[in-house]
Amino acid sequence: MDQLALFFTLMLAAIVMVPLGDRVKLPPPVLMTLFGGVLALIPQVPNVRIDPELILPLVLPPLLYAASQRTSWRQFAANRRAISLLAVALVSVTTAAVAVVVNAVVPGITVAAACALGALVAPPDPVAATAVAGSLGLPRRMISILEGEGLFNDVNAIVLYHVAVAAALSGEFSLPHAALELVESAVVALVVGLALGWGANKLMGVVGDATLQIGLSLLVPFASYALAEELHGSGVLAVLTCALFLAEHAFEADDVKARLAGNTFWEIVDTLVTGIAFGLIGLELHHVFNVGEGNWGPMLRDA
């Protein structure tokens, strides 16, 4: 099996896992991760090699844009205090708590490296949270808070991660500098997101046709992410800002056809990209087996 065939296999599995997940009461991303792990155990399946610098720019923008289609600026504004506490305060506290524990338990690890690990595990996965919330029948307001927090917690976590990695490489860490970098990153992202959202909205009005508008919406999240990152802002926040702006202004209230077509298109994108992403996570077992060969005892003990 070559990598192109593996790619199409993951897309097919992403579609099949949706009804299967409903039947076995498990979120499709969990099933895709397990499926990828099973594929990794098959010798004929190739080890997938993707440039790490391409993962976030290719996967995050469409997933964030698709997720933002399920919420609105009004919902976020109504629950802004709870969302801010969860997405900013809780993620920061979790990062610090994990860093303290890891620094105390793992010999020789630096504080900056421990903070980087804390930032990686601090934001909870919004897919799992909303899937569990739906199965429990929680109130709609609580689900809206979880969805909003799931959108914005990655913004804080990724900035914290970048600051920690920079500190680990340079050997220097300044809390005021980190806070200033966080503010600057957010401001740049908001400006980029609003500017591209406004420009895309005007261009959608010019092209008119719903098909062309949806095609343009596919390019917008990638452009927002890339431009914000180029200007040293948060690409995640830029995509979310642009997406929420377009969700409020892109289509007329009575343009039912365009809204239905757009929602359907982004649901398909969300299903396929999420499935491929979690399938690739399972396929990472290839690399884990190679790295862990002969070291399983110490690795399992540390885990």
Q: What digits encode the pLDDT tens for the residues 235-249?
A: 888 888 888 888 777
Can you give the pLDDT at residue 291?
72
Can you give the pLDDT at residue 72?
66
Can you give the pLDDT at residue 82?
84
pTM of the predicted model, to two decimals? 0.79
How far CA 185 is from CA of 178, 192, 194, 235, 258, in Å, comes to 10, 11, 14, 9, 33
Can you give the pLDDT at residue 12?
93
Can you give the pLDDT at residue 130?
63
Closest of 101, 157, 84, 99 to residue 125, by C-alpha:
157
Q: What is the mean pLDDT of the chain?
A: 82
Can you give the pLDDT at residue 222?
92
Q: What digits encode the pLDDT tens for the residues 4-38?
A: 888 888 899 999 998 998 888 888 888 999 998 88
Can you give the pLDDT at residue 64?
82
Can you give the pLDDT at residue 15?
93
Q: What digits encode the pLDDT tens for the residues 136-176?
A: 777 777 777 777 777 778 777 887 888 888 878 877 766 67
**Span 192-204, average pLDDT:** 90
Residue 195 has pLDDT above 90, yes or no: yes
Q: How far apart are CA 216 and CA 191, in angstroms?
A: 20
Can you give the pLDDT at residue 204?
84
Q: What digits encode the pLDDT tens for the residues 259-280?
A: 788 788 888 988 899 888 888 8
In the chain, pLDDT over 70 holds for what percent of residues?
A: 91
DSSP assigned state of 106: S
Q: Which residues, 6 or more positions from 23, have their beta carbon under 8 angstroms from its beta carbon? A: none
Q: What digits encode the pLDDT tens for the residues 101-141?
A: 998 888 888 888 888 899 888 887 666 666 666 667 777 77
Residue 74 has pLDDT above 90, yes or no: no
Strand boundaries in the chain, DSSP class E: none
